[in-house]
A = this chain, B = another copy of it.
Amino acid sequence: MKVVGLMSGTSGDGVDAALVEITRSRKGLDIQTIAFHVLPYPRSLQQRILTASASGSVAEICHLNALLGEWFANAALGAIRTAGLRPKDIDLIGSHGQTVHHLPHGVKDAGVGSIRSTLQIAEPAVIAERTGITTVADFRPRDIAAGGQGAPLTPGVHALVFRHPRRARLVVNLGGISNVTYLPRGKGVGGVSAFDTGPANMVLDGLMYRATNGRVSMDRDGRLASRGKPDGRLLTKLLAHPYLLKQPPKSTGREMFGAPMVEELAAIQEARQLSIETLLATCSRWTAESVGTARRWIQGGIDEVIVGGGGVRNRAIMAHLADVFSPAPVSTFDALGWDSKAFEAVAFAVLAYQTVMEQCGNVPAVTGASHPALLGCIVPGGPGWMRRLKLSS
């Protein structure tokens, strides 16, 4: 089955589209990435999404839902074109959508107790209409309805593609935030755990942006950080951050490691006259050490660490990770044949495949859901969609 996965992260910088071929074999699912396409949002649209996520009006959400549907459809068509294929060659689309709000801890409401909710937009009916391809979307609300946090959803896919019969693996994603999935030896999702470990690119990018007055948005390849040395005093302070000491399940985000943290670090830098190299080196070490805290909470040892996400290109973090997890080898998604940048989009292609195959996509031990659930809503490509997916004869 040829499936396009569509993903846009909370940074709202564009849509990732991965076209994969999924084949069922005796050994499980065989997943091959055929094409990867990124459709960046213009700066104005990114700003609009970030604003709408914080304080958008119902009219803006209604409009953006349809507008982003067009962007997501175009991203899918882009990936299909990149592969030299046509929409009629594709069986299915899985779209994460654009998260504009996430209230997984519940908001008290008169008479009904606490209501937990999440809101992803990018209208799947627009995606299905523009492409003619059956589209699965809105994966998170069902896990939330089943008592979970609606996130993370990638650990089930990590288990599917990275779990090893004889090696216990820690899968690390270095995104804005760092998160881990622990995969004990064996198969299936039994014993799998996952949580956010703490800071990653969000802090480092924020410091670069601030230091260059917005001219440079990242320390490419971790070059500046590699030139510096971690400051012991600051590192000790950062490692005492309450989030790192908190027992999972736990998740974090921009409110903890975004702008306020960058401002705090910049103030320390100024007071102690630290160089930007020293500051970035310290935060790279902090990132690696916070990933290392995962060992406190997982049940069992780690034979191998596999790193994905934009942070794999940061040589400073990667060197610190090798040091922190030594003697366990630290490898990358890419070394195992997976494009780090494409993985999240691939995951939503796999989740869509699971939904139409009637396989549950969440890992209850990870999200907190009361049971495995069939995730998402299915928007038919058009009449005959079930026959096209070989779901009916």
- Residues on A facing B (Cβ under 8 Å): 42, 44, 52-63, 65-67, 69-70, 100-103, 107, 109-112, 115-119, 123-126, 128-130, 137-138, 141-142, 144-146, 355, 358-360, 373-374, 376-380, 382-386, 391-393
Contact = CB atoms under 8 A, between A and B. Distances in A.
A60 B103 CA distance: 11
Nearest to A355: B380
Contact of A129 (B59, B112, B373, B377): B373
A125 B103 contact: no
A58 B56 contact: yes
Contact of A118 (B62, B115, B142, B383): B62
A358 B321 CA distance: 52
B119 A65 contact: yes
A393 B360 CA distance: 20
Contacts of A144: 66, 125
A355 B107 CA distance: 34
Contact of A62 (B119, B124, B359): B119
Nearest to A123: B141
Contacts of A115: 63, 66-67, 70
Chain A interface, >50% SS class: mixed
Given A44-B110, A66-B116, A67-B112, 5 more contacts: A58-B60, A59-B103, A62-B118, A63-B103, A66-B115
Contact of A374 (B44, B110, B359, B383): B383
A50 to B, nearest CB: 11
Given A377-B378, A383-B359, A58 B53 contact: yes
A117 B374 contact: no
Contacts of A53: 58
Contact of A69 (B145, B355, B391): B145
A257 to B, nearest CB: 21
A380 B391 contact: no
B101 A130 contact: no
Contacts of A392: 386, 391-392
A284 B100 CA distance: 45
B377 A382 contact: no
A142 B129 contact: yes
A126 B117 CA distance: 10
B391 A137 contact: no
A380 B386 contact: no
A101 B58 contact: yes
A386 B393 CA distance: 13
A125 B112 contact: no
Q: Which of A58, A124, A373 has the most CB of B within 10 A?
A: A58
B378 A62 contact: no
